[in-house]
Chains A and B, each alone.
Chain A
Amino acid sequence: MNKKAGPMFYVFLIVFVFLVMFPFLWVLASSVKPVAELFGDRAFIPFTNNMTGENYESVFVNYPFLKYLWNSLVVSTITTVYAVLVASFAAYAIARLNFKGKTVILGLVLSVSMFPQIATISPIYIVLKNLGLTNSYLGLIIPYTTFTLPLSIWLLVTFFRKIPFDLEEAAKMDGASPMQTYWRVILPLAIPGIFTTAILVFISAWNEFLFALTINTDDEFKTVPVGIAMFEGQFTIPWGEVTAATVIVTVPLVIMVLLFQRRIVSGLTSGAVKE
């Protein structure tokens, strides 16, 4: 950390940031071009003299894009709230209480989070189909538990462990029951960690593709990733609309990442780094 950054370093940094961001910048530039300029010679000129919003308009007029956004929002929000809630109990127990089999349970949670989705999809699909839950919000919220719950438990355990044990001891001395200790002492201190977990779980549910693709096939219930992936024109792929939709999906994410980058980084690295 004490190393000084020279001018060459900043040049490297700018090149690096540009390379990482280039696909987005190009897509952003393409999204405001008139359709005719997306093909032929003009396709490789980043700027246009005829800036237009027609692609953006078309995304909402010709495709049920607003519906996709709403579906994603509903599914991801409910999934996040319920997964984090259920996981917080388990994580508290694993991090703070003494009982046998904790390591085994944590190992189980970790291995479940590594399950390939494809290995669970056939029974889940058949059960949901028989229950009439395909093409419904619940049809996605239920299977999303497979990855959101282990992820939440795993992250929350590391956050709960960071809270000093002394506080808990002090509360117990004062005669607080374990549940009181949890609600009055641990939970307020754990809120930043819970919030971070919620962000990461929300992103993972928002981005999920395989379950969304197979279970909710109806336009009424498609989520954003599937909706965009299925954008089809009459003869060719409608690149204008695709780029516009990509920008619409990316901009809120960029804002979220800028706002919460510290938290996201702490969440991403918390399970992976031993301090």
Chain B
Amino acid sequence: MKPNLMPNNQKQIAPKMKQQAKKKRSDRSLGYMLIAPSMILILIIAIWPVFQSFYYSMFDLRLNNPSKSEAYVSYKVNLQTYLDNYPFLISSLEDEVDQATGKTKSELEAIKTNLEKVDAELKSDKELRSKYDEVDEKLTVMEPISEELAVSDLDKEVALDLEKAVINSSERIRELKSELKNPEDVIGLSSSLKDSVITPNFIGLKHYKENLTDSRMWKAIQNTTVFTVISVFAELVIGLAIALLINKAFFGRGLVRATILIPWAIPTAVSAFMWKYLYDGQNGIVAKAFAEIGLFDQMTDMLTTSTGAMFAVIFADVWKTTPYMALLLLAGLQTIPSSLYEAAAIDGASKWKQFLKITLPLLKSSILVALLFRTLDAFRVFDLIYVLTGGGPANSTETISILAYKVMFAQTNFGEGSALSVIVFICVAIISMIYIKFLGRDLLNDR
């Protein structure tokens, strides 16, 4: 009953309608008020990061490199780094000039003049000059310097001059290494000075281009797909079988249900470590059992060969999540009225036919929902593999999430890692869209 459908000509009921419309309005504003906190939180903590990830993925962002530790779109100079090094470099160069002779002396002098020239160029900008002095002052009295003050925008030309000068001097000083009195000092200062120039690290879609042509990325996608398809399929089949079998009244239901929940409730990382113990090449009972029934040649094959490791990971996942799947499907089964089966039995339908014609169609939406959740969970698998195999041996169980994590936190290459995480996001979005197409809107509608 939308307000705009309100009939205007029926005057008698107009006051009541008005009242209802008013109530609607208050309902609406209260509704928006109540959902606002959640929506704001979700927007800031979940949705903004996804866009930010995409933004980061277009930069050469490396946390271990001071001049690339943030996303910069323009040329900048870090005055703190600059003034922490420049004055000392100049005075050390003066010392070196004093004791050097001949060609080295003139060479060093040239380097020094060159640097001083760029320094003058820096100071020629009025605004920069005042910041320059302020940072210098704070450095001498050892006051903390804010990021805002330290990092300052720079004209492209000045920045390029500065960059050229510092790189050039650093190289030339390195060449003169054997002639110098205190080579360590001068070389150290001149190379630190290089970090003061911040060049834009925007690289567009280069990370994507690199990733999409990288065999390691494709291998990771392939591993993720193999893991997802096999484990989810096995979980569905075994879970459905279990659900069908325990869908009856029996003694000890509660105990069985609790048993089913335990693998689900335990932290994945802990259960992964537990399986690592059971799969161990020397003392793992499961590895020994599998070797004894001939699944593997040796116990150690379980975690040291690529197929063994993939099997191990899938097996552990199936153990952990099949019970959950069975539980979801069991709940679905219990909503099917038994009268349908009775009627079918009277008509002479076999058990198999009943399963195909009654159970499966009526269970369809339960199955699809369970599959959707499980597929997405499996596709973003991280804990299990991180703890159990670490992606090895030889990257044979490295999934796309593991790869993204390694690139980000082991190589501290946040730009490329972000690109990989955006790729994971896109894959997950595509998978859910496919499922939602099958599920339709009944996932969200009330009843």
Chain A residues near B (Cβ < 8 Å): 1-5, 9-10, 12-13, 16-17, 20-21, 23-24, 26-27, 30, 38-40, 43-44, 86-87, 89-90, 92-95, 97-100, 102-103, 105-112, 114-126, 142-143, 145-146, 149-150, 153, 161, 178, 203, 206-207, 209-210, 213-214, 224-226, 228-229, 231, 237, 239, 242-243, 245-246, 249-250, 253-254, 256-258, 261-262, 264-265, 268-269, 271-275
Contact = CB atoms under 8 A, between A and B. Distances in A.
A95 B324 CA distance: 27
Interface in B370-398: 370, 373, 376, 379-380, 382-383, 386-387
B214 interface: no
A27 B175 CA distance: 62
B421 A118 contact: yes
B428 interface: yes
Contacts of A124: 45, 49
A5 to B, nearest CB: 4
Contact of A20 (B260, B267, B414, B420): B260
A265 to B, nearest CB: 6
B405 interface: yes
Given A90-B38, A100-B28, A261-B258, A117 B380 contact: yes
B446 A250 contact: no
Nearest to B324: A268
A261 B380 contact: no
Given A27-B274, A123-B49, A209 B269 contact: yes
B34 interface: yes
B270 A119 contact: no
Main secondary structure on chain A at its contact with chain B? helix
Given A44-B285, A86-B37, A249-B267, A116 B335 contact: no
8 contacts: A5-B249, A120-B421, A209-B268, A229-B387, A268-B324, A274-B335, A274-B365, A275-B335
Given A120-B46, A268-B327, A275-B335, A224 B27 contact: no
Given A145-B41, A249-B270, A265-B331, A89 B46 contact: no
7 A-B pairs with least C-beta separation: A123-B52, A269-B331, A43-B283, A120-B49, A90-B38, A93-B34, A99-B31
Contacts of B252: 13
Given A1-B248, A2-B338, A269-B327, 13 more contacts: A17-B256, A20-B323, A21-B262, A98-B27, A119-B50, A142-B45, A178-B27, A225-B267, A229-B270, A249-B267, A253-B266, A272-B373, A274-B365
Q: Max chain A CB contacts within 10 Å: which of B370, B405, B445?
A: B405
A237 B278 CA distance: 13
A173 to B, nearest CB: 12
Main secondary structure on chain B at its contact with chain A? helix
B409 interface: yes
B35 to A, nearest CB: 4
B249 A2 contact: yes
Contacts of A102: 31
Given A23-B319, A94-B35, A258-B258, A122 B250 contact: no
B63 to A, nearest CB: 8
Interface in B31-51: 31-32, 34-35, 37-39, 41-42, 45-50
A92 B275 CA distance: 42
Contacts of B277: 27, 30, 237, 239, 242-243
A199 to B, nearest CB: 10
A114 B246 contact: no
Contact of B259 (A5, A21, A38): A21
Contacts of A98: 24, 27-28, 31
